[in-house]
Amino acid sequence: MKTKHVAKRSYRMTARAEAVDATRERILQATFELWLTHAYEDVTLERVGKAAGVSKQTVIRQFGSKEALVAAVAEWHQPREKDERSAAVGDVAGAIHRLIARYELIGDANLRLLEVEHRVPPIRRILDAAREGHREWIERVFSPFLPSRKGRVRELRVMAFYAATDVTLWKLLRRDFGLGRKETEAVIRELIEGLLSRAPGSARTGGRRGDERT
């Protein structure tokens, strides 16, 4: 009888833990979806709870504060974002296509976060991590076109790729100039191809001399 009681208790504890995890997942998903369409200030804990089908108090019990929720959403979303923009090393066309697809979904939300990063420390930390992640993406995908030797030349080339693929350029083309998605992708590809033409080993750089340029 004791064994049966222990098994029943263990089952209840497992079910409860699974329910808590499911609630947490719903809250994270709801917060992320609200970010896609609302300003940071408008994504209140009460609104998050309503979107997730729980009370504001449940959100507080799960995360403690809006700042903690922000950090949790960023951590939750990071591997998903990495997977969505993943591309093979050297696959320039595929990388740009996937990147623009991500900007079409989250670009406006990223821009809204940029507006508040200097007065909301958790947002600043999130965006700093996002910048580092974007740089890592560049250094992996475009590695065949970067100088092999570390130094100022390589750093400036990485920064050039960064500028050509940053969300603020997407915003300039899509939102400020009103280009379509395909046109925006074409412009960014042209910028990247200009960088590739100057990559180490290309005809225009005279072989490996690109590594020594200053």
Per-residue pLDDT for 144 more than 80? yes
Per-position DSSP letters for the chain, written without gaps between them: -HHHHHHHHHHHHHHHHHHHHHHHHHHHHHHHHHHTTS-GGG--HHHHHHHHTS-HHHHHHHHSSHHHHHHHHHHHHHHHHHHHT---TT-HHHHHHHHHHHHHHHHHHHHHHHHHTTT-HHHHHHHHHHHHHHHHHHHHHTGGGS-SS-SHHHHHHHHHHHHHH-HHHHHIIIIIS---HHHHHHHHHHHHHHHHTTSTTSGGGTGGGGGT--
pLDDT tens readout for residues 8-67? 555 555 556 566 789 999 999 999 999 999 999 999 999 999 999 999 999 999 999 999
Joined tokens for residue 35? 């970010």
pLDDT-derived band at 97, boundaries 50, 70, 90 = very high
Looking at residue 206, what is its pLDDT? 37
Q: What's the whole-model pTM score?
A: 0.81
pLDDT-derived band at 2, boundaries 50, 70, 90 = low
Per-residue pLDDT for 126 more than 60? yes
**Mean pLDDT across the chain:** 88
The structural domains of the chain, ordered by start, are 1-65 (1.10.10), 85-214 (no CATH)
Joined tokens for residue 174? 């899509």
pLDDT-derived band at 198, boundaries 50, 70, 90 = confident
On whether the CB atoms of residues 188 and 169 are closer than 8 A, the answer is yes
Asked whether the CA dihedral 15, 34, 97, 210 is positive or negative, the reply is: negative
pLDDT-derived band at 153, boundaries 50, 70, 90 = very high
